[in-house]
Amino acid sequence: EPEVTQTPSHQVTQMGQEVILRCVPISNHLYFYWYRQILGQKVEFLVSFYNNEISEKSEIFDDQFSVERPDGSNFTLKIRSTKLEDSAMYFCASRDLAGATYEQYFGPGTRLTVT
Amino acid sequence: GQNIDQPTEMTATEGAIVQINCTYQTSGFNGLFWYQQHAGEAPTFLSYNVLDGLEEKGRFSSFLSRSKGYSYLLLKELQMKDSASYLCAVRSGSGGSYIPTFGRGTSLIVHP
């Protein structure tokens, strides 16, 4: 069964450093998303991406964040200058175009720890 | 703004039925999701309701009343593996906006 994959599973970085979180969505999917979940808190939407551009973003997704689909398979989230409060689990998700269920498939997540 | 309320924790017995409620206050309602999330894992999609009524999918059913700002997830024939957090998320905004707002989740504990 196809699945969304994410690398790395755990990333430790120092405050102020740049990090790139990588995702490989399911191959025939066209919508891609990033979410984050701070430990013990709610899942929060960051951004959605379709047709090589951002379709929606939340207030959290400020200028320090960016997304890119550098090739036909990868989807990345870059955090330019990490802050302590960026420590969270980051989930990538994808869905296909067909159907009205809006069913998304989540990857296993990348745990980002900023020290 | 959005406000989504779910009970923090529920317990139930294996083989029983449990109903997890979700109430919401939002403008521009576009749909409501239920997800299951096991500890340390990613959410998995359970259901998406746009119209009022009950939708059944195997042991899980989801109900929506838009006029009451209310939904529930019904789990039948509970199994130990159903112990997880259940997340209600509301999609809202103008122009068919996707952006979902998640509740804090209901931690369900199934005991023998």
Pairwise CB contact (< 8 Å): A43 & B48: no
From first to last of its 115 residues, chain A has per-residue pLDDT tens of 789 999 999 999 999 999 999 999 998 898 999 999 999 999 999 999 998 999 999 999 999 999 999 887 899 999 999 999 999 999 999 998 765 568 889 999 999 999 9
What was the pLDDT predicted at B96?
Answer: 65
Q: How far apart are CA A63 and CA A44, in angstroms?
A: 17
What was the pLDDT predicted at B62?
Answer: 98
Average confidence (pLDDT) over B53-61: 95
Lowest mean pLDDT, pick from A52-66, B4-18, B32-46, B94-108: B94-108
Strand partners, B3: B25
Q: How far apart are CA A49 and CA A42, in angstroms?
A: 21
Q: What angle do CA A92, B70, B47 make, to 5 degrees?
A: 35
Strand partners, A49: A32, A54
What was the pLDDT predicted at B27?
Answer: 81
Q: Which of B45, B58, B2 is nearest to B26 (CA)?
A: B2
Q: How far apart are CA A75 and CA A108, in angstroms?
A: 14
What was the pLDDT predicted at B99?
Answer: 80
Residue B2, pLDDT > 90, answer no
Q: Which residues of A touch B98 (CB under 8 A)?
A: 48, 55-56, 102
Residue A109 contacts B, CB cutoff 8 Å: yes
Residue that the structure tokens 């269920």 belong to: A101
Does residue A48 contact residue A61 with C-beta atoms inside 8 Å? no
Pairwise CB contact (< 8 Å): B48 & A48: no
Pairwise CB contact (< 8 Å): A102 & B42: no
Torsion angle of C-alpha atoms A64, A67, A70, A72, degrees rounded to 10: 170
Q: Under DSSP, is residue A109 helix (H, G, I), strand (E, B) or coil?
A: coil
What was the pLDDT predicted at B83?
Answer: 98
Window 33-62 of A: residues touching B by CB (8 A cutoff) are 41-45, 48, 55-56, 58
Sign of CA dihedral A47, A53, A55, A56: positive
Peptide bond into A8 cis (omega under 30): yes
Pairwise CB contact (< 8 Å): A106 & B44: yes
Tokens of B100: 């979902």
What was the pLDDT predicted at A98?
Answer: 66
Q: CB-CB: which of B42, B48, B87 is closest to A101?
A: B48
Pairwise CB contact (< 8 Å): A42 & B98: no
Question: Greater confidence, B40 or A83?
Answer: A83
Pairwise CB contact (< 8 Å): B91 & A109: no
Q: How far is A98 from chain B (nearest CA, A)?
A: 15
Interchain CB contacts (distance < 8 Å): A and B? 45
Sign of CA dihedral A39, A64, B3, A98: negative
Q: Which of B107, B22, B108 is nearest to B71 (CA)?
A: B22
Q: How far apart are CA B47 and CA A78, in angstroms?
A: 30
Q: Which residues of A touch B45 (CB under 8 A)?
A: 103-106
